[in-house]
Chains A and B, each alone.
Chain A
Amino acid sequence: MFTRIRSWGPPVLLIAPTLILLGIFVYGLIGAGVWTSLTDNVRGQTTGTVGLQNYENLFNDDTFVYSLRNVGMYTLAFVAGTLFFGFLWAWMLERGARGEGIFRTVYLFPMAVSFVASGVVWRWLLNSNTGESASGLNRLLDMVGLGFLQGQWWTHEGWGILAIAMPAIWQLSGYVMALFLAGFRGIPEELREAARVDGATEWQMYRHVIFPQLSPVALSAVIIIGHMSLKVFDLIMAVAGQTNHTTQVPGTQMWLKYTSGEWAEAAAIGTVLLLVVAVLIVPYLISTYRAERRR
């Protein structure tokens, strides 16, 4: 009996603090949030549970559905953009570009700036005035003779959200580049040599040797960028403000509901967000778990 406790007691004691803290502050609060979303909580006053009424209200609310559509478009653009630029830059550096150290720093640097700080600048860059009174990017386009490219940016109802993805891509591409660069460095030179000896063309080597080795890195990048993107809030608050219609996402909707005292609906939005992120992350966790078991 004692020997048993001796064998599993210390490890349990060691992880107990983390378990308790995680249990209370992560899983306990998730539970509290889900519970709140099932009540009619208004500013902390509640008369009991209302089932899924709040979720029904949300999905009947045009603005919320629009915000889901927005965050979907934003995520697609953000993930595709960062993967494209991140891979391109990593590939160029990997080919032995001169001054690699400098470029690495230059590309990675935007990540050090907070979304709020860069958002304030992008708010000005993405001014929607055109023609004479244009400023920011529109002015620049006008000056270089590309005036026809001037746009409404984030004030456009259909595509506005994509303008918000621009600063996000600019900030995170360097990070994805660093991931890919690490991935490239992890591929032993011998593999490439072997491929060349077997008569593979450059493209075939990339297609059959390099890309498969990079796919775990790409998956990590998708997961990291994807979940950041679904939770977007600070960048939009800084660029467009909380009530701007064209840039509504679940994050801003949750803030607005909370401010209006609709705590239950705010909690419901939080739960929807959690589920959406879970759809993205849980398969990834399962696949890594399986891969580790196989080892």
Chain B
Amino acid sequence: MVPPFGSRATRETSRETMARARARASLMPDLLVEARRVANNVFAGWHGRRKRGVGEDFWQFRPYVTGENLAAIDWRRSARDDHLYVRDREWQAAHMVWLWVDESPSMLFKSSLATVSKQSRALVLAFAMAELLARSGERLGWLGVSKPIVSRHAADKLAEALLAAPVQTEIPDGSTVRNFSEVILFSDFLQPVEDTVSKLKEIAQRGARGHLVQLVDPVEDEFPYSGRVEFSDPETGQKLTAGNARALRENYETLFSDHSRHLRSIAESLGWSYTLHHTNRLASDALISLHMYLMHTRRGAA
């Protein structure tokens, strides 16, 4: 008898995935979170934002405008000619980013077509993001687990906090999320869509911008079963028998893609980003698109 496609993987701890996440993160360029929306954020980061603002490094001289603070005038420069100059500094700012990984039983699913379980991949992605963001000096937190941390080693600290914390199976309410923060949620989003939507809206109402990463095992997408198959749900234990699984394939594919499309439309209506990631693809794929979403100023959303 050929073994079934799907199997239940053991839960991976944050410690195991850290190493792999580091490897991923080392491949990425320094992450510069788009800081347009954090104008009032006072926490200083280490990396310049390539525009003038609060910071330590010199950015430019510009002519003094009447009404400006006189203390801002750079007298040394102004003494060279007849104009007054103000020394601008490069704006350096940190940003608050919340991470969260779904660890429900369905996330432990791994098929023979995939290399890792969804949970493993999600943790790798989350820690890789944490590593990148910590490198850029952002403030990081794990929803429902830890408070915001600003540290070069924020990713390690998050991992330790996660070890101690209970298993995360539901999207947290986001009571700690505040305005102008970024929330990155890693899940397969197989819970009833209504529950997911209400949770997401709650977080969105707190003024945070979200990024949804839906992890999909290739088996869930392609439905390669044929013949007589008994399917069981890892969450509820419910069982269903299909007499001719192959005949269901097309309809199932339609339904599943509808599900993903629905999620995407919700994310777009909230102004959030949505990334679909298959566990048989490289983790870097998702990382790059997340990176892109965090970097880019969205056109028209001033």
The answer to whether A and B assemble together is no
Q: B residues engaging A (CB < 8 A)?
A: none
